[in-house]
């Protein structure tokens, strides 16, 4: 009886092991999923990650923002997801409506509750942005086609050079 139980246990353990081994390994990770409408690419990180880093997220603007209010209200997506920032490189993809985006950037955030008001800028810094391939001093324009994604939107985040929003827009409240 005990031997039979043992045999059943052995078979059960092996079967459980085989079943468990059927998944969980490394899988392909397309940078741009087929179903994505938006843009995708990779972010390469430079510099030392500040100790108070809470997240890094990707944002896009149809028109370059002029004010702090534009910066908060016109951001797409409104509530972005974080990009892993502990490796030297991270792929990202962002769902966006079709259109021509004039500023695609990575935003660094320190701990603090966002209120979707210009006061949010006290927690945020511009960490890097996609640049015009023809003139790297200028932001690049990215067009998201209807029903598809634009890939290869790659740019650099430099943690040693986080810039406040006031370097780019006019703010009346911080």
Binding positions for other proteins, rule: CB under 8 A? 2-3, 6-7, 10, 13-14, 17-18, 20-22, 24-32, 42, 46-49, 86-89, 91, 151, 154, 160
Q: Smallest distance from the beta carbon of 162 to other proteins, in angstroms?
A: 14
Quick one: 18 or 79, whose CB is closer to other proteins?
A: 18
Taking the complex as a whole, how short is the minimal distance between the CB of residue 21 and other proteins, in angstroms?
4
Question: Which CB, 2 or 134, lies closer to other proteins?
Answer: 2
- Closest to other proteins by CB, 30 vs 98, is 30
**How many Å apart are CA 92 and CA 89, to the nearest integer?**
10
Hey, CA dihedral for 92, 94, 99, 103, is it positive or negative?
negative
Q: Closest approach of Cβ 59 to other proteins, in Å?
A: 21
SS3 60: strand
Instruction: In angstroms, give the least distance from the CB of 164 to other proteins.
Output: 19
Centroid of chain to Cα 117: 21
Assigned token pair, 133: 């391939």
Q: How far apart are CA 38 and CA 95, in angstroms?
A: 4
Residue number, 22 or 79, with CB nearest to other proteins: 22
CB-based burial label for 42 (10 Å; 0-12, 13-18, 19+): middle
Nearest distance from C-beta of residue 170 to other proteins, angstroms: 30
Element (H, E) at 46: strand 38-46
The residue (of 74 and 93) whose beta carbon lies closer to other proteins is 93
């Amino acid at each position: 009886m005990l031997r039979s139980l043992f045999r059943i246990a052995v078979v059960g353990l092996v079967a459980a092991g085989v079943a468990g081994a059927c998944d969980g390994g490394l899988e392909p990770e397309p940078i741009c999923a087929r179903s994505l409408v938006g843009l995708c690419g990779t972010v390469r990180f430079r510099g030392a990650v500040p100790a108070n880093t809470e997240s890094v997220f990707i944002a896009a603007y149809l028109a370059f923002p002029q004010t702090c209010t534009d910066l908060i209200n016109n951001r797409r997506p409104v509530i972005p997801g974080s990009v892993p920032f502990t490796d030297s490189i991270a792929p990202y993809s962002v769902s966006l409506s079709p259109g021509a985006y004039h500023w695609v950037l990575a935003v660094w955030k320190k701990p603090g509750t966002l209120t979707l008001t210009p006061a949010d800028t006290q927690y945020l810094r511009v960490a890097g942005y996609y640049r015009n391939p023809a003139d790297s001093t200028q932001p690049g324009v990215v067009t998201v086609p209807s029903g598809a994604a634009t890939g290869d939107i790659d740019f650099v985040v430099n943690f040693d050079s986080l810039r406040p929003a006031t370097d780019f827009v006019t703010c009346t409240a911080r």
